Amino acid sequence: MCIEEEIPIIETAGYRPDVYAEQIKESGITWIHKGATIDFVKHGEKLGADAVVLVGLDGYGFKNIRQLPTFTSIAWAAPQMEVPLIAAGGIGDARTMLAALMAGADGVYMGSAFMATKECPISERIKQNMINAKPDHPDLIYELLAPLRPEDYQEVMELRRRMPVEKWLPALEMVMLKHHEWKDVDFMKVQEKILHQDPDSPPSLGSRPKGPFSFVCGYINQIQTVQQLIENMVQDAEQIMTNVVRQWELT
């Protein structure tokens, strides 16, 4: 469908893209492959991907048992890659963008930061939760960084061939995020809650502000338009670099 509709860029992720590689390359579409480990992105490069996204543990969402923090991943991968390397995971302002570029990335990939924009159709309560949340909250650290329970991982992997992929992948993601009730979760209701959570509902006591967002909550302090988010990041980055150059000149 992407080829028929002449989509200019296609992204593969989640699975090895081997069965699609030849078809994508023949189409001439720019191909980006996203992975959670160096081995996955190097495999995409070997198959002919035009660029790769390497996602660190700092990001929310799908995890891998061999995944590393974002800047460790990028600094390690950069000398090994020949195609453009895009950093992802906990990037959402000028400083984290510049840090990723200095670590060796050719660009950055953002998710949670765009959730806190006016255009994003998720619940306004979740956007406010992101502003109120702190990246050092133990619950968030546990979700993003703590090792998963081996028994949960083994069980969900055994279900791989017996569950429809649209149910198995969210179940695997829940396991990776240490949501121990993963077998009883209604994923359609979860998605509905993300989109329409009541902005006036009271927060859960004793827990972090709810929402599927990453450590980027530490530097998201307002809801902006997408244009404002990008323009402010670029302007702030330029100012930081100007200040650095001035410091060099003074020394």
pLDDT at 185: 63
pLDDT at 181: 74
pLDDT at 149: 85
Cβ proximity of 86 and 32 under 8 Å: yes
pLDDT at 205: 42
pLDDT at 71: 96
* Per-residue exposure over 153-180, b if at least 16 CB sit within 10 Å of its own CB, e if not: eeebeeeeeeeeeeebbbbbbbbbbbbe
Of the pLDDT bands very low, low, confident and very high (cuts 50, 70, 90), residue 16 is confident
47-99 pLDDT per residue, tens: 999 999 999 999 998 888 899 999 999 999 999 999 999 999 999 999 999 99
Cβ proximity of 110 and 88 under 8 Å: yes
pLDDT at 204: 47
Query: Can you read off the two tokens belonging to residue 52?
Result: 């790769």
Q: Which residue has the tokens 């809650």?
A: 193
User: Is the pLDDT higher at 125 or at 106?
Assistant: 106
Across 98-112, 139-153, 198-212, 231-245, least confident range? 198-212
Cα separation, 63 vs 66, in Å, equals 9
pTM of the model: 0.85
Find, among 204, 69, 79, 54, the residue nearest to 141 by Cα: 69
| Separation in Å, CA 44 to CA 103, 127, 199, 205, 230 | 21, 34, 41, 44, 28
The mean of the pLDDT values for the chain is 88
pLDDT at 108: 97
134-163 pLDDT per residue, tens: 999 999 999 899 888 888 888 988 988 888
Give the number of other Cβ atoms within 10 Å of residue 59's Cβ. 26
User: Is the pLDDT higher at 198 or at 125?
Assistant: 125
Q: In the predicted model, what is the mean pLDDT of residues 8-36?
A: 93
Q: In the predicted model, what is the mean pLDDT of residues 123-140?
A: 91
Helix axis angle, 226-250 to 94-103, nearest 10°: 60
Cβ proximity of 111 and 61 under 8 Å: yes
State yes or no: pLDDT of 212 exceeds 80. yes
How does DSSP classify residue 117?
B
